[in-house]
Amino acid sequence: MKIFLETFGCQMNEYDSELIRSILRSHQHTFVENLDHAEVALLNTCAIRENAHEKIYHRLDELKGRKRRQKNLVVGVLGCMAQNLRQELAEHAPIVDIVAGPDSYRRLPLLINSVRGTGEKGFDFSLSEYEAYSDIAPQRMPGVNAWIAIMRGCDNFCTFCVVPYTRGRERSREPQNIVAEVHRIAAEGFKQVTLLGQNVNSYRFEQHDFADLMQMAAEVDGIRRVRFTSPHPKDFPRKLLHTMAANPKLCKHIHLPLQAGSDSVLERMNRTYTKQEFLDLVAEIRAIVPEISLTTDVICGFCGETDEDFEETLEVMRRVEFDSAFTFKYSERKHTIAERKFKDDVPDEVKLQRLTRLIDLQREISKQHNAAEIGKIFEVLVEEPSKKNPHEWLGRTDQNKGVVFWDDAVKPGDFVQVRINAAGTNTLRGTVERQGWRRLPVTAVEAECCAI
């Protein structure tokens, strides 16, 4: 069959789509980039954010009209939303032929064949204590960075989150199996690998912990950078910090989700740390790895959050001064503890006001941090042409900061030394340094242009 696969959501979903491609290609299915050429349309979905749900339902509305014209088109919804909203999808999206959760991808060839052969819909929502797809080599698209899921599931049960119910309990892959995948990645030409897990610092396989795994990945020839996402503040391993400080291949960037700065809100979220414990961890991280870049996630307007609670979140943001932050207003997810236990009682207009203040504060902090980089030289990994100007390149520093620059002698995967000469809120701009020579900006306007 000709398959169109569309991915919504996080890096783990991107990695799962690579597994899906591998599974279906092993059964002689092919993939097409244009939906017009597809016999099967698969949506690999996210259940975490409200806008992801909206995008998926909008896509299903589009497919409804297409299916009227193409009667034999098979439509499948996969992943976290499929697992979490299986009843709703079955009842309210009659055009959906296949619904399969994250532990059911091996059965996709059978489900597709069944729908095509008999017309009967196929559903599989089984959650496994063991499935890690360790024997499947993902079919990656060419690029600079490769994702590797080192574990699946989550045991944290944050009250706002559906992941333990959509991806099951935590289970870690065997480290030698992961390292073998890193070797394949290096042989395919990737220069950077990012290790994925819902809580990577919970990784454990026999005597090996996450710091051991990071060190093993960094020892693979051909890999120049190793990243990870995301850890949990509750059990951040100090051993990992010392390993990061000692190994230049381990990138000096940590995405450390705060979620809220009020102890009462953190308790209702079941985050299992206090504001002070979070601040103490940040201080320790910066003491051990001084060049670290810290980014975070923050939710405003969670159940019961008062004005005073929100002011505490702003206080933490000012004290930590994250380099950047993903900020969200709380949106209730079905089948979570919060939905069952708490009232979503913060008015939407209040959530939006708080979100605006949060974004404005973070923009000021990011702008100041980036301005401090002007004049410095960074090693930048070239990723792709800049979205705003295809004649320029976008790359990233070790600290995961985006840098835009011009150079006609580089390609994706190259490492170049770039001197920063301008800074915006989200991106740095620079010029390549080569043996004492560097290209000067064409105009003063170019040097000042930072709205990237």
Determine the Cα–Cα distance for residues 369 and 376; give it in Å rounded to an integer: 13
Helix (H) or strand (E) holding 358: helix 348-371
Cα 33 to Cα 6, 41, 65, 338: the distances in Å are 9, 11, 19, 39
pLDDT of residue 57: 85
Whether 384 and 410 have beta carbons less than 8 Å apart is answered as no
Each residue's pLDDT, cut to its tens digit, for the chain (452 residues) gives 999 999 998 899 999 999 999 999 999 999 999 999 999 999 999 877 666 778 888 899 899 989 888 889 999 999 999 998 888 887 767 899 999 999 999 999 999 999 988 888 889 988 999 999 999 999 998 999 999 999 999 999 999 999 999 999 999 999 999 999 999 999 999 999 999 999 999 999 999 999 999 999 999 999 999 999 999 999 899 999 999 999 999 999 999 999 999 999 999 999 999 999 999 999 999 999 999 999 999 999 999 999 999 999 999 999 999 999 999 999 999 899 999 999 999 999 999 999 999 999 999 999 999 999 999 999 999 999 999 999 999 999 999 999 999 999 999 999 999 999 999 999 999 999 976 444 444 333 333 433 33
Phi, psi at 103, each rounded to 5°: -100, 10
For helices 210-218 and 238-246, give the axis angle rounded to 10 degrees: 20
Phi, psi at 75, each rounded to 5°: -115, 130
Whether 375 and 422 have beta carbons less than 8 Å apart is answered as no
Buried b / exposed e over 171-205, threshold 16 CB at 10 Å, is: ebbebeebeebbeebbeeebbbbbbbbbbbbbbeb
> What is the arrangement of strands in the sheet containing 192-196, beginning at the earlier edge strand?
145-149, 192-196, 225-229
- DSSP assignment of 315-342, as one string? HHHHHH--SEEEEEE----TTSHHHHHS
For helices 307-320 and 348-371, give the axis angle rounded to 10 degrees: 10
Whether 266 and 273 have beta carbons less than 8 Å apart is answered as yes
pLDDT of residue 435: 62
- DSSP assignment of 32-75, as one string? -S-GGG-SEEEEEE--S-HHHHHHHHHHHHHHHHHHHHSTT-EE
Give me the amino acid identity at 313. T
Furthest C-alpha separation in the chain: 69
Determine the Cα–Cα distance for residues 307 and 268; give it in Å rounded to an integer: 16
Give the β-pairing of 427-434 and 415-423.
Answer: antiparallel
Q: How many CA atoms lie within 13 A of 232 on its CB side?
A: 19
Both structure tokens of 341: 């236990």
Whether 335 and 166 have beta carbons less than 8 Å apart is answered as no
360: Cβ–Cβ under 8 A, 6 or more apart, which residues? Answer: none
Both structure tokens of 184: 């394949």
Instruction: Report pTM.
Output: 0.92
Determine the Cα–Cα distance for residues 228 and 250; give it in Å rounded to an integer: 9
Whether 87 and 96 have beta carbons less than 8 Å apart is answered as no
309: helix, coil or strand? helix
Q: Which domains does the chain have, with CATH numbers?
A: 2-124 (3.40.50.12160), 145-371 (3.80.30.20), 377-448 (2.40.50.140)
Give the position of tokens 């574990």: 151
Short-list 209, 272, 275, 205, CA closest to 242: 209
Both structure tokens of 451: 């709205």
Determine the Cα–Cα distance for residues 86 and 334; give it in Å rounded to an integer: 11
pLDDT of residue 106: 97
pLDDT of residue 94: 84
Determine the Cα–Cα distance for residues 406 and 409; give it in Å rounded to an integer: 9
Determine the Cα–Cα distance for residues 415 and 418; give it in Å rounded to an integer: 9
Phi, psi at 331, each rounded to 5°: -130, 125
214: helix, coil or strand? helix
